[in-house]
Structure 1
Amino acid sequence: MTEQAYPIGTPGKKWGPEEKQQWLAQQLVRRSYQEQVVTKLAKLPSYFETEQYGQLNYADLPVIKDADNYPLFVIKSVQWDNQRPTILITGGVHGYETSGVQGALQFALTEAENYIRQFNFVIAPCLSPWGYETINRWNPFAADPNRSFYEGSEAQESLLLMEYLKTNEISPLCHIDLHETTDTDNSEFRPALAARDAIVQKTWNIPDGFYLVADAQNPQADFQTAIIDEVKKITHIAPADDNNELIGVPLQQLGVIEYDAKPLGLCMGMTDAKYKTTTEVYPDSPKVDERNCNDAQVAVIRGALNFILDSERHA
């Protein structure tokens, strides 16, 4: 695939405030965060509670009159025990990546019961509710929350969760960040990024199947393998391309690549968790459907937790 023209901006020139406002003016609310996410929180089992950790005040944006203010919630273990390891699960950092949000909720509503006595859980199912409603990768200011996890971040989606974890002294043993790679990465989000930053987009690969992104500074290869083995029971793993790569990054093992998480400002890099991974489900494959995608995200969590239980037991 070759570079696509984007209808906003001047080729070779980075976007300024005017171009970002043009982009924002094109965005529409397409689904309901309240109906598809918040209402499910009322159905949580008794061993979980919800806690609001912030709010995105976007209702006054001049070009989106119907945008709500978005309360941000975590799902947290009621019987917190400092002797137990803590598991952090995040979804919807990129709001358009639906199975990350719904997979996190599905785990909390169905399978968390099997692990609630072994772990403390903090689950943030939808960090970017405006992105969820408008089916967007960016926030309203054309910033990518998954490149914004650093001190003093201007992306509230990123900053508010970091502040919550710091204030509550939550240091997870494991962080699982649930994402998707979609065909719209090529049709919309990569061209928009190239236009916004005045760069040439060299990577157009969309892997057909599931894969993981490990932290290059602490890859924990056996941990990643255990997750892949569990996900294989649910859906297909993305094969490497002819260069033995996925999305332009060298393959480390079946279905696993690595990014240097902290310097890139990735959600996966915001803590010093021993075990961490970022999932990538491919919802546009003809081999999957919505349920399969959500089930794959739950399988990731199950595989990770089972590995930790086994590893810590034999440590």
Structure 2
Amino acid sequence: MTTTMTPEQATWFAQTFTRLTQNVGTAVLGKDEVVRLAMTCMLAEGHLLLEDAPGTGKTAMARAIAASVQGSHKRIQFTPDLLPSDVTGVTIYDQKTGSFDFHEGPIFASVVLADEINRASPKTQSALLEVMEEGNVTVDGVRHSVGRPFMVVATQNPIEQAGTYRLPEAQLDRFLIKTSIGYPNHAATVELLAAASVRDRSAALSPIVTTQAVTEMADLAATTHVDGAVLDYVSRLAEATRESSSTRLGVSVRGALALVRCAKVWAATQGRHYVLPDDVKHLLQPVWAHRVVLDAEAEFAGATAEGVIDDVLAAVAPPQERMSA
């Protein structure tokens, strides 16, 4: 039986997490909350979807995360002619040895930036999403593990939709968190402009922990205690999204599990070995908003997924006391 995280372990976890986010923050200025969400996503062993305009620092953040955990970083520029094998890799016959050798694709990295994922064909998108779900690549019947840690940071440009393939709802559900970096504030912009000669701020970063330590932190976060009252709260929130008159499809069981996984990590980043209802509230928008499918008429009338989540939060009362063991 897995033991629950101790208060001492929670304190160490929070201190290490703070050092990681501060390190990444030197490359992505003024975006502490987004960086914390991205690192939470990695430690919950999920994947991140960023919907942002070009030039907001998506690549810089992915590189900074990889550098901070002493991991590898690969970037895949998604285009309409990109093939699944361009992502996963191919098996090539070696005439010298008389055998087939597997040549890894760019998906084999600690942090993979899938730039403008909605520009690739659905077939290529599905190849990437299969690796995200399974953590393995199957080529010619042979399975190849991508290892741990493994996080895909996929981006979408919300402005230009011509020639794009919208991610289906079932594929959006595979992303643990969806958020946006946005433009930096005035002070951060001035600081960036002052160092205009530095093209890649992440190149100067030193690793804070090893990839092995990240894996251990992920395993430790999974042992954070979640009281039955909090689990009941998450279930009631998910049911409320399904019952909303504005939704055609509410949050699935996968979405509820994703929220619990994230809440466990978030609680540990606060130095706690147990989850509070406030952790759930804080993460509800980034973890659930992209999983809600709006009713067509409600959407036409101005309803938004974020609005549905806000309504659900207001309607469902959080637990006031713990459940008995």
Whether TM exceeds 0.5 here: the answer is no
TM-score normalized with structure 1 length: 0.24
Q: Which has the higher contact order (CA 8 A, sep 6+)?
A: 2
Q: Of Structure 1 and Structure 2, which has the larger fraction of its residues in helix?
A: 2
Q: TM-score, normalised by structure 2?
A: 0.23
